[in-house]
Amino acid sequence: MIMIMKNRKKTTTDLSAKHFSRYGEFLVSFELSKHGWNIYDPVYDEYIDLIIHKHVCEECGKNWNLTPVLVCKKCGKDFSKSLKKDIVAKKICQDCKNEMIGNKTKCAKCQSENLINHPSCDKCDGEVEMIDHSCKCGSKKYITKFRTIQVKSSRIEHGDGKSKNTYAVDMKPRDLIKDESHFYIWCLLDDKDHPHFLVLSVKDFIKVMGDSLKGISFFKDQDRQHFSSRDFGKWREFLDKFDKLE
Ligand SMILES: [Zn+2]
Ligand SMILES: [Zn+2]
Ligand SMILES: [Zn+2]
């Protein structure tokens, strides 16, 4: 019997409440990465758990790469990723036009020190230049987005050793940061430890809560949203709504 206990596979129920809450923040972070966000962790917890940020094309919304690209002017070969070692270190003497490869400081022909760098393509000898990223759609403009996120995590509630088939999320007046850039992500772990994400704005929350937002229990920090783990109840419309962050 002891052996069986020892070998039992661990689940999120083995985490303390504090560690579980952190676990949820990480799951949300990984999920946000899939949607192209960069994630930052505030030094102090002031009801904002994550700051997220991305650059996207102003025209088509595709993710934007801010690092410049290294390409051959002549044949278009892209050296940006891992091929930098293939860039030929060519120097040209300004006085006699002699071309040399390698780390020269003087012209081998005329001894002039008037050399200019000419990074060259290993394929066609064309000049490699650094150009700013432009989108495949043709746009040269990008926008920067910042969002703040509060994460709340819940496992399925159990009572008397039985599943209640509900999740529970504690919401308090201090969570109502009324900023257009602020969002809640509720990370809900089912009994197989699979996460489900509800993404909602502060406005969405206020709208769904309706009059219960003025309720005494909410004012007293005693409000707990219980909802079905099967269909997410009245919060269902926010399932996987990561588009709301865009
Ligand atoms: Zn674009
Ligand atoms: Zn080339
Ligand atoms: Zn020379």
In a shared domain, residues 150 and 121: no
Q: How far is the CA of 136 from the centre of ligand 2 (A)?
A: 21
pLDDT of residue 30: 98
Q: How far is the CA of 90 from the centre of ligand 3 (A)?
A: 13
Give a yes or no: residue 186 inside a domain: yes
Alpha carbon distance 193, 164 (integer Å): 16
In a shared domain, residues 123 and 107: yes
Tens-digit pLDDT string for the chain (246 aa): 555 566 788 888 889 999 999 999 999 999 999 999 999 999 987 889 999 999 999 999 999 988 888 999 999 898 987 778 899 999 999 999 999 998 888 999 999 999 999 999 999 999 999 988 889 899 999 999 999 999 999 999 988 888 899 999 999 888 999 899 999 999 999 999 999 999 999 999 999 999 888 888 888 888 888 999 999 999 999 999 999 999
Q: How far is the CA of 66 from the centre of ligand 1 (A)?
A: 13
What CATH code is carried by the domain that includes residue 80? 2.20.28
pLDDT of residue 109: 93
In a shared domain, residues 121 and 46: no
Token pair for residue 90? 């060519």
Ligand located closest to 95 CA = 3
Helix (H) or strand (E) run with residue 222 in it: none
Q: How far is the CA of 67 from the centre of ligand 2 (A)?
A: 21
Q: What is the dihedral of CA 197, 202, 203, 205, to 10 degrees?
A: 60
In a shared domain, residues 151 and 51: yes
198: nearest Cα among 168, 164, 158: 168
Alpha carbon distance 167, 206 (integer Å): 19
pLDDT of residue 55: 95
Structural domain total, the chain:
2
Helix, strand, or coil here: 199?
Answer: strand
In a shared domain, residues 201 and 238: yes
pLDDT of residue 213: 86
In a shared domain, residues 49 and 81: no
Q: Which of 131, 159, 176 is the last residue of a domain?
A: 131
Using CB atoms within 10 A of its CB, is residue 67 exposed (0-12), middle (13-18) or buried (19+)?
exposed
Q: Which of 131, 158, 181 is the last residue of a domain?
A: 131
Range of the domain at 117: 69-131
Specify the DSSP class assigned to residue 1: -
Q: How many residues does the chain have?
A: 246
